[in-house]
Amino acid sequence: MPKGAVLARVIGKRYELDELIGRGGMGEVWSGWDMVLDRPIAVKLIPPLAAGDDEPEAVARFQREARVTARLRHPGVPQVFDADLDTGAGRMYLVMELVDGVPLTAYTAASGGLPIEWAAAICAQIATVLSHAHAASVVHRDLKPDNVLLAGDGTVKVLDFGIAALLGDRMKLTRTGQLIGTCMYMAPEQIRGGQISPKTDLYALGCIAFELLAGRPVFAEPIEARQLHHHEFTVPEPLTVVRLGTPEALSALVAKLLAKHPERRPENATEVYERLLGFLPASGAAATEPPSGLDRAADPTRVFRMPYAPKAPEPTVRRRENARPEKPADLPTVLSRSVELAREHMFGLLDDGRFDQAASVLGKAIAAATAAVGAAHPRVLDLRMEHAAVLYLAEDHGTALREFVSLADVFGSGPDPKRLASECRLQAAHCRAALGQGTVALREFGALLDEERGTGGDTSERAMEIRRAVIALLAAEGRGAEASSSVESFAHDAVFVYPPGHEMRHWAEGMRDNLSVPEE
């Protein structure tokens, strides 16, 4: 890492910790990067052992947690990548998939509850995860909205199986007598310290379902002791009373999930899923209008309406922003220094071939600068140009294309539109070529080449670069005759423009040889 850059903590000689994203009784969760595979990760750090701790038991609990989570191979459970003991710090850590999602708490807070289809879709996905966990003899024991995320495509992710119990295993993952769970979602048998079973998770799922549909918890007592008392002894109001219009069958299912005695709850998570099927949207159905305040939230019904659908394309509409100010204020000193440190860090990552992390580091710096001085500030626009170039190096051509198109639009309305807007258009054309949009890319390359010929001629450095891109794209598109004709002219000009041994001359000669090979 370059001198002056922020030195992040590295554990296991490959995992770079970035930001603290969660803290609880079981440890801290950090976002970070795998320096070897250049991908974002989540790292769960178990606190250092206290003086009175039983080290062998603690290590055994940690190993079991890692194995429990790793055995749950389902899209609804974050994947485990690694687990180890940081002997230097005396703490253990678990490396997992970093989920970019919204906590379910954002959905439970919706006024008046969620649409029936949304609530059913979330609960059906949770039930699916539980069915896989229970089949592997794993009980979550602390299922709650805080431990559920919705990814951008509407997929539900169930987190923190860290205090899960392995059924039939003599080793307890938590100390004997310790009350585990969250009182608002705790089953009566859990409160009493009784036998934990898969049906304990079903009760918690019932609490979540009730809250999603009613817009409030089952028991909204502010005092924990009273909440526990109600969960143990009080029968909740039917959903048909709490929320008028709730289907009788759905209200009955939630009531059964919230039964005080485990044997009166549904047989298993599969039964819950099957009883929810009637409330899920059919494949190909139109999306339900999102509730107020959740306009930008992920739609949990998408996985049922559009199963196995391709990734939804990002909008490519050009964004018109304010033109660059003529005499902008400089970035604040502290922010300017922070941005330069981020750029130094980025260049160091690029030298190591860690393009994805480099793009992430610069992206955060851009977000901070934008918040301080606005998106139209020249320094912000320069940083966005760099960011788009790094995205291209990371082969994230779709995101790079959208940024180059947006920047071309911004620069095109500024006081010096020609050079910067043209450069963005050129890079956007390269992105289109990489994305297989050959026809559009050729059209844009052609327009740019015509513009360059009018000012710099046919053999300027920029013109030669565009001509080379056109030849390569023609060849890729199967237009061999056009490519062959163009490469002959290009090779002739390259002899006069570049010295012997120059890479452009070698490329032209090689391309000419390839295009001259007769087709079979």
Query: What does the alpha-carbon distance between residue 92 and residue 425 come to, in Å, rounded to a whole number?
Result: 49
- Residue 310 in tokens: 């391709």
DSSP per-residue letters across 218-246: SS--SSHHHHHHHHHHPPPPPHHHHSTT-
Buried residues in 153-186 as b, exposed as e (16+ CB within 10 A): ebbbbbbbbbbbbbeeeeeebbeeeeebbbbbbb
Six-digit token pair at 266? 């549904």
DSSP string, 81-107: EEEEEETTTTEEEEEEEPP-EEETHHH
Rounded to the nearest 5°, which phi and psi values hold at 42?
-115, 135
Phi, psi of 70, rounded to the nearest 5 degrees: -70, -30
């969250």: which residue's tokens?
A: 182
Neighbouring residues of 119: CB distance < 8 A, sequence distance ≥ 6: 113, 209, 212, 213
What DSSP line would sit under 235-298, residue for residue? PPPPHHHHSTT--HHHHHHHHHHT-SSGGGS-SSHHHHHHHHGGGSPPTTPPPPPPPTT-TTS-
- Count of Cβ atoms closer than 10 Å to residue 385 Cβ: 18
Contacts of 264 (CB under 8 A, 6+ apart): 256
CA distance 20 to 130: 28
Q: Phi and psi (nearest 5°) for 21? A: -115, -5
Backbone angles phi and psi of 436, in degrees to 5: 85, 15
Catalytic residue among 54, 82, 100, 142: 142
142 is catalytic: yes
Q: Could you list the active site residues?
A: 142
